[in-house]
């Protein structure tokens, strides 16, 4: 018999070399403090819209143009500056496919969101990671030192995940100026909890692209909805790469309702910020080390017991995310901040678990 390894179809070498990435999505019943989602719900206006979906909307291919115009108006941008995407993940994929090829480089301050490296590894470009210090401050000077004519794409999450650290506007401007030949993606997935943005520079700075998501504050992670704000000169390439139907009709129908209900977002963000203050004050008293966060999560240092800690939390019905394998994050666990009630349940479980397994240090 033939050797099946040589007779069955084989992927490109690059795909064979890619690492598997499977986020721990199975069995997520309990209080979900693991994926930085909204822990409560989306706006009731979105649910009302979903209940009214028509047959025609489901039968027809989705048309995103008119909803892009609504999103652009909401953000104070020109319609030509906004591209809706199937979550920011698709946006990252599209950017990697558009700008990264052999001989090119992507610069990535790390630790950061995993999908930048995942999608970059599916291209022929080289990934250059720039490690942050122990405080996880944005490694500006080290990053600038890596900029070269080969630099094609630089991804900056602001605030960053899993650290919660924010990047100063001046630092972003320095990166934009130092690499005019490279696209600088500023991923503002957690914008609502931070309140600072560079989206106002879209169209004025030719190499800036900003990403936003509806998965976090808006509570719509399941709908898969994000957007890119980009200058028109870049938008033509992005539209060439993206699938024209990647944002489905349900997501398109819901977006205007989500944007209209600003009161809901204001309420949820205020709830998270209050919960974050309560949580950090509580873990301060427990003596747990953490990094101050500008987002809806807090990175804590649990130490060598990180895996046992996550398991014991899970047994108490609280899901948290072990980030120990991220660069420079040995012993770290990330805890999503949700409503005050959900976050308090997490804090209480944490106190019990730390007693059970022994304190962090």
Cα–chain center distance at 45: 24
Name the closest residue to ligand PMP (Cβ). 87
Alpha-helical (H) ranges within the chain are: 4-7, 13-17, 44-51, 55-59, 65-75, 87-99, 114-120, 140-146, 169-178, 191-194, 232-241, 249-260, 262-286, 306-315, 340-357
| Position among 109, 111, 219, 226 found at the interface with ligand PMP (CB under 6 A) | 226
Q: Does 164 bind ligand PMP (CB under 6 A)?
A: no
Minimal distance in Å, beta carbon 7 to ligand PMP?
37
Site for ligand PMP in 108-127 (CB under 6 A): 113
Of the two residues 219 and 231, which places its CB atom closer to ligand PMP in the complex?
219
Of the two residues 221 and 308, which places its CB atom closer to ligand PMP in the complex?
221
Of the two residues 335 and 354, which places its CB atom closer to ligand PMP in the complex?
335
Of the two residues 193 and 290, which places its CB atom closer to ligand PMP in the complex?
193
Minimal distance in Å, beta carbon 157 to ligand PMP?
4
Q: Does 322 bind ligand PMP (CB under 6 A)?
A: no
CA distances from 142 to 59, 104, 129, 146, 207 (A): 52, 19, 10, 7, 20
Minimal distance in Å, beta carbon 183 to ligand PMP?
16
- Strand 289-291 vs strand 297-301: parallel, antiparallel, or unpaired? antiparallel
| Position among 42, 157, 247, 350 found at the interface with ligand PMP (CB under 6 A) | 157
Of the two residues 107 and 354, which places its CB atom closer to ligand PMP in the complex?
107
Q: Does 88 bind ligand PMP (CB under 6 A)?
A: yes
**CB of 346 within 8 A of CB of 31?**
yes
Residue position matching structure tokens 């990252």: 92
Q: Does 95 bind ligand PMP (CB under 6 A)?
A: no
Sorted by sequence, the CB contacts under 8 Å of residue 349 that are 6+ apart come out as 313, 316, 317, 318
* Interaction pattern, residues 20-39, with ligand PMP; x per rule: CB under 6 A: ----------------x---
Sorted by sequence, the CB contacts under 8 Å of residue 166 that are 6+ apart come out as 158, 159, 160, 194, 196, 294
Minimal distance in Å, beta carbon 83 to ligand PMP?
13
| Position among 163, 215, 249, 339 found at the interface with ligand PMP (CB under 6 A) | 215
For residue 170, is the peptide bond before it cis, meaning its omega torsion is within 30 degrees of 0? no
Q: Does 89 bind ligand PMP (CB under 6 A)?
A: yes
CA distance 259 to 286: 39
| Position among 72, 140, 167, 189 found at the interface with ligand PMP (CB under 6 A) | 189
Torsion of CA 163, 169, 172, 173, to 10 degrees: -170
Of the two residues 168 and 355, which places its CB atom closer to ligand PMP in the complex?
168
Q: Does 349 bind ligand PMP (CB under 6 A)?
A: no
Of the two residues 333 and 353, which places its CB atom closer to ligand PMP in the complex?
333
- Per residue, what are the HEC states of 150-210? CEEEEEEECCCCCCCCCCCHHHHHHHHHHCCCCEEEEECCCHHHHCCCCHHHECCECCEEE
Count of residues touching ligand PMP (by CB under 6 A):
13
Q: Does 213 bind ligand PMP (CB under 6 A)?
A: yes
**CB of 300 within 8 A of CB of 290?**
yes
**Contact range with ligand PMP by CB under 6 A, out of 87-95, 195-203, 299-307, 314-322:** 87-95
- Strand 297-301 vs strand 332-336: parallel, antiparallel, or unpaired? antiparallel
**Contact range with ligand PMP by CB under 6 A, out of 62-70, 81-89, 101-109, 133-141:** 81-89
How many other C-beta atoms are found inside a 10 Å radius of the C-beta of residue 267? 13
β partners of residue 31: 318
Of the two residues 113 and 264, which places its CB atom closer to ligand PMP in the complex?
113
Chain contacts with ligand PMP (rule: CB under 6 A): 36, 87-89, 113, 157, 161, 187, 189, 213, 215, 221, 226
């Amino acid at each position: 018999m033939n050797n099946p390894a040589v007779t069955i179809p084989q992927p490109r070498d690059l795909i064979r070399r890619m690492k598997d990435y499977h986020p721990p999505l199975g069995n997520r019943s309990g209080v979900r403090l693991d994926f930085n989602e909204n822990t409560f719900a989306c706006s009731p206006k979105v649910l009302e819209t979903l209940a009214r979906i028509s047959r025609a909307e489901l039968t027809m291919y989705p048309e995103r143009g008119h909803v892009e115009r609504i999103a652009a108006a909401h953000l104070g941008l020109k319609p030509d500056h906004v591209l809706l995407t199937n979550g920011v993940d698709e946006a990252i994929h599209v950017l990697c496919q558009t700008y990264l090829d052999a001989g090119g480089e992507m610069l990535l301050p790390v630790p950061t969101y995993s999908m930048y490296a995942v999608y970059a590894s599916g291209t022929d470009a080289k990934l250059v990671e720039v490690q942050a210090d122990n405080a996880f401050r944005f490694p500006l000077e080290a990053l600038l030192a890596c900029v070269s004519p080969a630099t094609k794409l630089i991804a900056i999450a602001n605030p960053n995940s899993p650290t919660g650290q924010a990047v100063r506007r001046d630092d972003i401007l320095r990166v934009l100026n130092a690499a005019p030949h490279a696209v600088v993606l500023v991923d503002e997935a957690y914008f609502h909890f931070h309140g600072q943005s560079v989206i106002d520079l879209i169209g004025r700075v030719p190499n800036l692209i900003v990403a936003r998501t509806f998965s976090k504050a808006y509570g719509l992670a399941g709908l898969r909805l994000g957007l890119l704000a980009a200058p028109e000169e870049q938008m033509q390439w992005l539209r060439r790469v993206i699938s024209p139907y990647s944002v489905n009709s349900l997501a398109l129908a819901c977006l205007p309702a989500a944007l209209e209900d600003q009161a809901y977002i204001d309420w949820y963000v205020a709830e998270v910020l209050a919960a974050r203050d309560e949580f950090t004050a509580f873990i301060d008293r427990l003596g747990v080390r953490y990094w101050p966060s500008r987002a809806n999560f807090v990175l804590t240092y649990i130490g060598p017991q990180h895996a046992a800690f996550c398991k014991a939390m899970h047994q108490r019905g609280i899901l948290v995310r072990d980030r120990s394998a991220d660069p420079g994050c040995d012993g770290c666990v990330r805890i999503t901040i949700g409503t005050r009630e959900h976050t308090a349940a997490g804090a209480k479980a944490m106190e019990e678990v730390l007693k059970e397994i022994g304190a962090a240090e």
